Structure 1
Amino acid sequence: MKIEVKNDNLEQALRVLKKKLQKEGTFRILKLKSHFEKPSEKKKREKEENVKRFKKLRKLKARF
């Protein structure tokens, strides 16, 4: 990943970097791996994520 710093504007370059990392899901992965998650909690979380994803897709399909 390459971020260009234009006109010595480091703050803007950091914002662009953070946005790219967030879009890739890097922060989410770091948060999940920062502590141990019991297998039952992992299954529950994944199931909730799948339900959320399914509802979102159904909502988008109903639009069109």
Structure 2
Amino acid sequence: MRVELRPGESQEMLLKRWRQSVMKEKILSEVRKRRWYMSKGEKERIAKAKAIRRARRKARQQERRQAAQR
């Protein structure tokens, strides 16, 4: 990633632009993701567990809403 200093630009602004470009291109998240190797099966298990947690959370929220309406 290369960001050049513009005329009259402070180093803080240059650094801010660099950070924004890194975040926009999702470079850091990709680096963190590739830090350790994860097999396809392991990724699937993690995705399945996340889906189960989401479903449970959603069911709990719906129960609370129904109880509040009564």
* Alignment length (residue pairs): 48
User: Which protein has the larger Cα radius of gyration, Structure 1 or Structure 2?
Assistant: 2
Q: Which amino acid letter does the alignment assign opposite residue 5 of structure 1? A: L
CA distance in 1, matches of 2:47, 2:24: 19
Q: Which structure's relative contact order is higher, taking Cα pairs within 8 Å and 6+ residues apart? A: 2
Q: Which amino acid letter does the alignment assign opposite residue 3 of structure 1? A: V
Give percent identity, aligned residues only: 19
Q: Secondary structure at the match of 1:4?
A: coil
**Structure 1 regions of 5+ residues with no counterpart?**
49-64
CA distance in 2, matches of 1:30, 1:20: 15
Where do 4+ consecutive residues of structure 1 move more than 4 Å?
A: 44-48
* 1:55 counterpart residue number: none
Aligned residues: CA RMSD? 2.5
**Structure 2 regions of 5+ residues with no counterpart?**
51-70
CA distance in 2, matches of 1:23, 1:44: 28
